[in-house]
Amino acid sequence: MAYKDTYAAWQADPEGFWMEAAKAIDWDREPSRALFDENAPIYEWFSDGLVNTCYNAVDRHVEGGRADQTAIIYDSPVTGAKARISYGELQEKVARLAGALVARGVTKGDRVIIYMPMVPEALVAMLAVTRIGAIHSVVFGGFAANELAVRIDDATPKAVIAASCGIEPGRVVPYKPLLDGAIDLASHKPEFCIILQREQQPAELTEGRDFDWHEVQDGVEPAPCVPVEGNHPVYVLYTSGTTGQPKGVIRHTGGHLVALNWTMKAIYGMEPGDVYWAASDVGWVVGHSYICYGPLIHGNTTVVFEGKPVGTPDAGTFWRMIEEYKIRALFTAPTAFRAIKREDPAGELVKKYDLSSLQTLFLAGERSDPDTIHWARDQLGVPVIDHWWQTETGWAISAIPVGLGLLPVKIGSPGVPMPGYDVRVLDDDGQELPAGELGAIVIKLPLPPGTLPNLWNAEDRYRKSYLDHFPGYYETGDAGYMDEDGYLYIMARTDDVINVAGHRLSTGAMEEVLASHPDVAECAVIGVADQLKGQLPLGFLCMNAGAGRDAAEVVGEVVKLVREKIGPVAAFKLAVVVERLPKTRSGKILRGTMGAIADGRDWKMPATIDDPAILDEITEALKTLGYPKG
Ligand code: COA
Ligand code: AMP
């Protein structure tokens, strides 16, 4: 069925639509209905079904004749390692690790934190946790000990599964000291840790608390799949909000299975057996949905790539991967393509490889700029599809669904709403805006299966962050508009979240770190446009009167502090000391105006500004950092 008919079919009978999609999942007990709206505006899907995620992602394929098909391709240009794991082998590995968890007392509902780089064992760990009905929370390796500690305290895990180290180009990142530091900092103490020792830097294990990945599995009984209720959480994934306390996005088992399975064909055009590569990291939602779960649930071959688009060893790595593994769909962030294009603008490396297997390139995670889309399309000769979603939704809100008859692509737009999403654009008063007018993008409740039903331990925050502002709608936090043909355009965030190299970061969290410096009296962090990473954080610092410190020294110290407290992934390297911050008469810092000055965009003097002269000082300070660019 083509897109228009499919969307109309969903509109006409949303529950029937999702019950039909649910038939593609192997349930231990079929759900009696799709939507559970008894606690609206908190909605659930398939709550009374019984089902297991790992069974659907692994075991059913082994039983159904795919035991010898490759489930996971591992390719690690940073270590030189390559491996293939079949569905049959994956089942064995997952059942054994699950057995080790059971033997150490992990049961249904317990949380397990996973802190691992891009190695296949990260997927094995995720699947082993879901196999026994426990709940995983994967933490991205680029986060520092403090961020890990915050997540340990919120998720209160019984166990942590980690690797001894990760590998970044040119350096080994020891994870174990970060893990030890996090456990020291956290008030909650996990009962035990399982550590995957990597030869690049094995770790010292803490006697009685830490167990070696292999030894802990010695002689244990492989664990069977534990069926759980459709509304049992499969995972919690923390994402940046307005403050330093991240939001724990919950995913429920039933809707997650149904929705992701549906997207693999409808959005990505995949048939079971096809090789699908999401070049992201398991620490992000893209990694959860499209490195681990989506492709495996659908019987595809997925790719775990431990490298970067450039420098490992060169800007031809992605093309080498496509040729070597006959990849049919590639999904990555626009930043990756900007990095490749910068190194190989004429596409000399593209020409060296046979890319005939590739059908489509998908981009998401940040706004796709037209230059990058044109370059990618010209070089690869395949449709380039921008699609828009969030950690909260777990799958695309809007896209050009390849499996539903390819609609025309409009450059600059991440496509049209997917079935399940009734997208509207509202003004500040909650009135719907006509086509072409910029406003807050919202989704009429209920959200579809596979999206967040709530935040972990934080229902009030869930309501406040997403539901209260526009009753009856989910507030995406993105601003933009819809054109006459129903295509969406995502223009900016409406909160303090910025997007750095496709990574979602909170300027509020960075401000909390800057403010903790003893010489900083006041501060503000904004996102400034960057040609490679989309945005970069930039900090303004006001020093305490009489601090008597050298400004450059303090800047150096706060840069170091953000790296230590949040992690290298924050990419916080720009800061400047100013006398005062521009504010409204009621004391609100004018971050938006400072951002416009830094980017060289047109801006209007805010009517409520307290002292306009401060903006001249900000303009001068930005010039010292080379902003605006060009
Ligand atoms: N563990 C430890 N450190 C990490 C890390 C990890 N898993 N991931 C990134 N870092 C570090 C990097 O080494 C870098 O450190 P540095 O300041 O010492 O150089 C810092 O965090 C910033 O990383 P990143 O933003 O990735 O920048 P980069 O300069 O290393 O690479 C790109 C730039 C464009 C090549 C890279 O950002 C990229 O591949 N982006 C694709 C985006 C993507 O996959 N997004 C996921 C959502 S779809
Ligand atoms: P994350 O939760 O990390 O996936 O980040 C989600 C946010 O990234 C969205 O709310 C948007 O602000 C931004 N984003 C993701 N995909 C796109 C896209 N295709 N176009 C524009 N912005 C995007």
Q: Which residue do the tokens 């997927």 mark?
A: 123
Residue 533 covered by a domain: yes
Q: Ligand 2: which residue has its CA nearest to atom 7?
A: 390
Q: Which ligand is nearest to the CA of 368?
A: 2
DSSP string, 21-55: HHTTS--SB--S-SEE-TTTTS-EESTT-EE-HHI
Q: Is residue 277 part of a domain?
A: no
Average pLDDT over residues 336-352: 97
User: Which residue matches tokens 């331990």?
Assistant: 457
Ligand 2: atom nearest CA of 388 is 19
Whether 146 is in the pocket of ligand 2, judged by its Cβ within 6 Å, is no
Q: Of the residues 226, 241, 269, which one is the last residue of a structural domain?
A: 226
Residue 434: helix, strand or coil by DSSP?
coil
Q: Is 534 in the pocket of ligand 1 (CB under 6 A)?
A: no
Ligand nearest to the CA of 309: 1
Is residue 255 lining ligand 2, measured as CB closer than 6 Å? no
For residue 392, give the ligand 2 atom closest to its CA: 2
Q: Which pLDDT score is estimated for 372?
A: 94
Ligand 1 site, residue 167, Cβ cutoff 6 A: no
Residue whose CA is at the smallest distance from ligand 2 atom 6: 390
Ligand nearest the Cα of residue 290 is 1
Which pTM does this prediction carry? 0.96
| CATH classification of the domain holding 603 | 3.30.300.30
Probe target for ligand 2 pocket from 242, 284, 289, 366, with the most ligand atoms within 8 Å of CB: 366
Q: How far apart are CA 133 and CA 128, in angstroms?
A: 9
What's the confidence (pLDDT) of residue 627? 97
Q: How far is the CA of 370 from the centre of ligand 2 (A)?
A: 16
Q: Residue 1 pLDDT > 80, yes or no?
A: no
Does the C-beta of 455 come closer than 6 Å to ligand 1? Answer: no
Q: Quick check: bond before 174 cis, omega within 30?
A: no
For residue 13, tell me if it sits in a domain. Answer: no
For residues 468 and 278, the answer to whether their CB atoms sit within 8 Å is: no
pLDDT (0 to 100) of residue 546: 87
Answer yes or no: is 448 within a domain.
Answer: no
| Rounded Cα–Cα distance for residues 480 and 441 (Å) | 6
291-325 pLDDT, tens digit per residue, is: 999 999 999 999 999 999 999 999 999 999 999 99
Of 330 and 242, more confident? 330
pLDDT of 327 > 90? The answer is yes
**Does the beta carbon of 571 lie inside 6 Å of ligand 1?**
yes
Which positions ≥6 away from 53 have C-beta within 8 Å?
127, 130, 131, 234, 253, 256, 257, 293, 297
Any atom of ligand 2 within 6 Å of the Cβ of 265? no
Angle at 54 between CA 53 and CA 55, to 5 degrees: 90
Work out the percent of the chain whose per-residue pLDDT is above 70.
100
- The answer to whether residue 452 is domain-embedded is no
Task: Identify the nearest ligand to the CA of 573 by its number.
Answer: 1
CB contact at 8 A, 127 and 225: no
Residue 612 counted as domain residue: yes
Domain termination residue (choose one: 175, 210, 226):
226
Identify the pLDDT of residue 498: 95
Q: Does some domain include residue 341?
A: no
Ligand nearest the Cα atom of residue 246: 2
Q: State whether the beta carbon of 388 lies less than 6 angstroms from ligand 2.
A: yes
- Mutation test residue for ligand 1: of 139, 168, 499, the one with most atoms within 8 Å of CB: 168
Indicate if ligand 2 lies below 6 Å from the C-beta of 440: no
pLDDT at residue 519, rounded to an integer: 96
Distance 147 CA to ligand 2 centre (A): 21
Residue 356 pLDDT exceeds 90: yes
Say yes or no: CB of residue 568 within 6 Å of ligand 1.
Answer: yes
The pLDDT of residue 566? 96
DSSP calls for 370-413: HHHHHHHHHHH-S-EEE-B--TTTSS-SEE--GGG--PPP-TT-
Please count the structural domains in the chain.
2
The pLDDT value given to residue 242: 80
Domain boundary among 226, 244, 268: 226
Q: Is residue 165 part of a domain?
A: yes
Residue 263 pLDDT greater than 90, yes or no = yes
Most distant CA atoms of the chain, gap in Å: 74
- In angstroms, the CA 440 to CA 555 distance is 35
Q: For the domain that residue 162 is a member of, what is the CATH number?
A: 3.40.50.980
Give the atom of ligand 1 at the shortest distance from the alpha carbon of 365: 48
Q: Which domain holds residue 601?
A: 503-624
Q: Is the minimum distance from the CB of 239 to ligand 2 under 6 angstroms?
A: yes
Q: Is 198 in the pocket of ligand 2 (CB under 6 A)?
A: no
- For residue 179, the model assigns a pLDDT of 98
Q: Is the distance from the beta carbon of residue 164 to the nearest atom of ligand 2 less than 6 Å? A: no
Which ligand is nearest the CA of 499, by number?
A: 2
pLDDT at 547: 85
**Measured CA distances, 609 to 450, 592, 619 (Å):** 43, 12, 16
